Amino acid sequence: NTAIFGNVAIIAIGDFYQCSPVAASSIYSSLLWSDHFEYVELKINERQKTSFSFSQMLNRIRKLKKKEDMNKEDREILEKCHQRYLNKEYHSEALHLFPKNAQVDEHNEEMIEKICINIRTFYEVDNHNREIKPNDNKSTKKMNKVLKLAKNARVMIIKNICVNDGLANGVTGRIVDYVENSNSQVSHIKIKCDSTKVGRLHRISCPYCHGQDTICVTRESDTIDQQDTDFRSKKGIKQFPLRLSWAMTIHKAQGITIDQVVISTKDFFGSGMGYTALSRVRTVEGLFLLDLHFDKFYCNENIDRVLSQMKEITRKQSIFQISLNYLNIIFHNIEGLKSNFNAFRSHHLTQSADLICLTETWLNYKNLINKFEMKGYHLIHKSRSSSFSSDHLLHSQKRGGIAIYYRDNISIQEIDPCEHLNLEHITFELLKEKIVIINCYRSPQQNKTEFLTNLCKHLKKIGINRKIMIIGDLNENSLSEKLKSIETKLNNLGFINIYKNLPTTNSLTSLDCLYCNFKLTKDHHKGIGATYYSFHDTLIFSINTEYQTKDLNTEIEYEDEENMKLTNTMPTPVPMIDIPKTTCKRKKDSEHTSTSKIHQTTTISPTSARSSEIMKEKQRDFLKNIKYIIEKGILEKGTHTLTLTEQLALIGLKKVKILGDGNCFFRAILHQLNRNETDHLLLRSEVINYLIKNKFFFSPFLDETYLTFDNYIEEMSKFGTFVDHLAITATAVIINKNIIIHELGKKPILVPGSDFIEDQVHLCYFPNIHYDSIVSIDNNFAFLSFEDVIITS
């Protein structure tokens, strides 16, 4: 699997302007970061939200460059913070922040001597529980850690003991007592943590903390730096995982929020340290500066550049419509409601749906169905065994199961056929909308003929002249070129699958469907919602029930090639090939499609355009002469000093960054057409299908890398495979556009796809690495004249 990060979804939350880890490179130094992450800026400052002026000052300091002077107003505020420190206006045990550990240790030792009595010294112990006291040997002196602790001392846990219970590295509190064993040795140290949430589970089972607001720690190994871990583990060395915490380093303080803090600035090192320290406190009144060195406050100037190169997350339009006139529907083959219930219940789409149809719940009559109820919804469930007669093959088979959830404010009436149809389904009528919905599932073990016979019998019983939706997983791939008997039969009955040609599974097959036998108005929306816990994605559908037509489909509305209505972006997809199931797991955002955008009034014949002999001749010339064309395009030496950005700017163009995942060519093409990259897999499939249909045309130009044309098709079908000259040429024909490719140091090359020069899309090419999209300087569509490009003669 060559997918980035193993195709695991990553959400990273943080602030680049804070100090980076000690002796480590910044996270954004990796190309993976800038190429594969998008960002959104969180603009509400939760920590300082009650002090707007302080928040604004911190933001100015956050982006202050090294050679810039801090503005007068901010300097004066910080000088007052220093004066308040000199006046000792802070609490005697206020947290002190220092850049270095030596300063932290010094302050903590002063505080324990000043605050506490009966200070005890705790040495490390070996695996025989014998104390290991420091000696003059330098190698062991460094590793033997001595703890000076006392009741009422401020301490911090320095090891992850039980993260789920909050007992984690960095948790602070105060020592309240010791627990001694039979040898009068301290075995447990009891601590009252600053947060009462820490240790709730611990207090249930611990005999020393039960019924109290404390936690306790014991001696443990591996409490110091990783490089010493192996040595210490072998020796069985243990120590209490604690450290005094009246003071801590600024790095350690990242993430905490406090009311008062005293900061030493004189030894700040590295960018972002000043901002990180100042921003720990809620208000400027709680900020005290032990000393003041304005030159130590500066940011890493590379951060602005890194952020400018990253794509900003754009909020996609929701498919679900928030209106009483709309019915929002989800269908999902959940592959186990019991195991996936929490994820399903918590999903934001689930919480917005009016009607939820599920298949493959894998529940039987023994499961307590009420465990799977959701607040605000009614649940109806039907097990597999109850759907089939006792003598049917599927009656005793595991899995299966159908369920629906419908909101409390929706009125339905379940339609019971009163007989065993040997059909997994729940059928009901939406009483207000007067729409019958059949939620059904066909197991691959059920013969298609039997399924269709039983379904047709059911439709006849309901009344085929009513408005009906069939929603489900019928295990028939609508993208396959093989005979599709279920689709053919339902089409003949007047049903149309509105999810035809949309992949709905991880292997890019289209098994899930929504068939309608009535004409939908333009005012409906559909899409695919990704899930991480099922092989199937969700179908998302929103329909305006108030303006739905009452007309049934009297004839099949195929958009055949002889009378195809096109959008102003892309032709309606030609049939797609099946991509092997070894393809990387596909997870993508919902594809929003509103039927109000599907058709224009212009009717054309793309088949004739694609088969145009003139265009074929142009493409043949291009493929035959591609090496000469590339050599011809090299610009004069004087232009080689330009960057690609400068080269584009000279002709009034600029590049738009496209995600680099191996699909960048198709992403860039779709960005050119409609400023949206989400259908890149669909476009790749169209190109593959076109190449297969025109095998004899393209075979003579096949690269020697591939043994056969079939081998080439197999490789090019895979997710993330970089395109070649054949795929680019096929794409130009499919989109009916001339593809103009810009490369550093070369004149733009035109790949023929249209007879009209104004039909252009523009890409910039980084050889064998990446494609980006190109627009004009004012963000309009790019255009070049004949004279500005290389055209096959």
Place of tokens 């929706």: 410
Residue identified by tokens 């529980």 is: 129
Kind and range of the H or E run holding 438: strand 435-441
Of 246, 302, 270, nearest in space to 114 by CA: 246
**What percent of the chain lies above the pLDDT cut of 70?**
85
Q: Which of 302-311, 527-536, 723-732, 774-783 has the highest mean pLDDT?
A: 723-732
Using 50, 70 and 90 to split pLDDT, how confident is the model at 306? confident
> Environment class of residue 669 by beta-carbon count within 10 Å: exposed (0-12), middle (13-18) or buried (19+)?
buried
What whole-number distance in Å separates Cα of residue 236 and Cα of residue 664?
54
Is the predicted pLDDT of residue 414 greater than 90, yes or no? yes
Which long-range contacts link 702-710 to residues 24+ away (Cβ below 8 Å)? 702/726
The arithmetic mean of pLDDT across residues 243-250, rounded, is 96
In this prediction, residue 636 carries a pLDDT of 53
Please report the pLDDT score of residue 498 as a whole number: 92
Q: How confident is the model at residue 339 (pLDDT cuts 50, 70, 90)?
A: very high
What per-residue confidence (pLDDT) applies to 661?
80
- Token code pair at residue 123: 């040495």
Average pLDDT over residues 217-244: 71
Is 133:245 a contact under the CB 8 Å cutoff? no
- List the structure tokens of 330: 């989800």
Going by their DSSP bridges, the two strands 355-359 and 326-333 should be labelled as parallel
Query: Token digits for 558?
Result: 């195929």
CA 417 to CA 458: how far, in whole Å? 7
3-class secondary-structure state, position 607? helix
The Cα-based distances of 327 to 206, 520, 543 in angstroms read 53, 13, 5
Q: In whole angstroms, how far apart are CA 664 and each of 508, 583, 656, 771? A: 18, 17, 12, 6
281 DSSP assignment: B
Alpha carbon separation from 153 to 93, 173, 244 (Å, rounded): 10, 8, 7
Q: What are phi and psi of 552, to 5 degrees?
A: -85, 160
Please compute the mean of the pLDDT values over residues 443-472 and round it to a whole number.
93
Among the residues of 279-333, which ranges form H helices?
302-309
Res 213 pLDDT > 60? yes
Cα distance between residue 310 and residue 38, in whole Å: 6
Question: How high is the pLDDT of residue 791?
Answer: 80
Return the SS3 of 440: strand
- The model's confidence at residue 482, banded by pLDDT at 50, 70 and 90, is confident
Q: Which of 310-319, 573-582, 606-615 is the least confident region?
A: 573-582
Report which of 478, 486, 501 is spatially closest to residue 593, judged by C-alpha positions. 501
Asked if 95 and 75 touch (Cβ cutoff 8 Å), the reply is: no
Q: Which residue has the tokens 């270095």?
A: 100
Q: Are 362 and 335 in contact (CB under 8 A)?
A: yes
Distance of CA 608 to the CA centre of its chain: 42
| 753 vs 748: CA distance, rounded Å | 15
Whether the CB-CB separation of 528 and 540 falls below 8 Å is answered with yes
| Nearest-angstrom CA–CA distance, 271 and 65 | 9
Q: Work out the number of other CB atoms within 10 angstroms of the CB of residue 480.
A: 15
* Contact criterion met (CB below 8 Å) for 70 and 294: yes
Instruction: Supply φ then ψ for residue 470, to 5 degrees.
Output: -110, 115
Q: How far is CA 199 from CA 163, 166, 168, 193, 257, in A?
A: 10, 6, 10, 9, 20
Q: Is the predicted pLDDT of residue 566 greater than 50, yes or no?
A: no
pLDDT score, position 583 = 34
Residue partners of 769: CB distance under 8 A and separation at least 6: 660
Per DSSP, helices labelled H in 116-212 are 138-143, 200-205
The pTM of the full predicted model, rounded to 2 decimals, is 0.55
Q: Is 712 exposed, middle or buried (0-12, 13-18, 19+ CB in 10 A)?
A: buried
The alpha-carbon radius of gyration of the chain (Å, integer) is 34
Token pair for residue 708? 């056969």
The Cα 350–Cα 140 span in angstroms is 59
Question: In what order do the strands lie in the sheet containing 186-193?
Answer: 215-217, 186-193, 172-180, 154-157, 242-244
Q: Phi and psi dihedrals of 578, rounded to 5?
A: -75, 130
Q: CA 368, CA 382: separation in Å to the nearest integer?
A: 12
DSSP state for residue 551 in the 8-state scheme: -
Give dist(CA 193, CA 176) in Å, integer: 10
The closest alpha carbon to 149, from 182, 191, 183, belongs to: 191
Q: What is the pLDDT of residue 491?
A: 92
The answer to whether residue 563 scores a pLDDT higher than 60 is no
Residue identified by tokens 């190169």 is 309
Tokens (6 digits) for 562? 């002889």
Mean pLDDT rounded to a whole number for the chain: 84
What is the average pLDDT across 233-246?
Answer: 84
Provide the 3-class DSSP secondary structure of residue 12.
coil
- Is a pLDDT exceeding 70 seen at residue 557? no
The confidence score (pLDDT) of residue 518 equals 87
| DSSP type of residue 74 | H
Q: What are the backbone dihedrals phi and psi of residue 537, each rounded to the nearest 5 degrees, phi first?
A: -85, 170
Instruction: Give the SS3 label for residue 216.
Output: strand
Task: Taking residues 681-704, report their average pLDDT.
Answer: 90
Query: Is 200 in a helix, a strand, or coil?
Result: helix
Q: Which domains does the chain have, with CATH numbers?
A: 4-88+279-312 (no CATH), 96-250 (no CATH), 326-555+590-597 (3.60.10.10), 603-788 (3.90.70.80)
Closest listed residue to residue 17, CA positions, set 424, 304, 400, 439: 304
Residue 662 region by backbone torsions, left for phi larger than 0, else alpha for psi between -120 and 50, else beta: left
Among the listed residues 473, 521, 518, 523, the one whose alpha carbon sits nearest the alpha carbon of residue 493: 518
- Mean pLDDT value across residues 718-737: 91
Task: Report the DSSP beta bridge partners of residue 331.
Answer: 357, 539
Nearest Cα neighbor of 272 from 307, 306, 299 is: 299
**Residues 6 or more apart in contact with residue 356 via CB below 8 angstroms:** 329, 330, 331, 332, 350, 377, 404, 405, 406
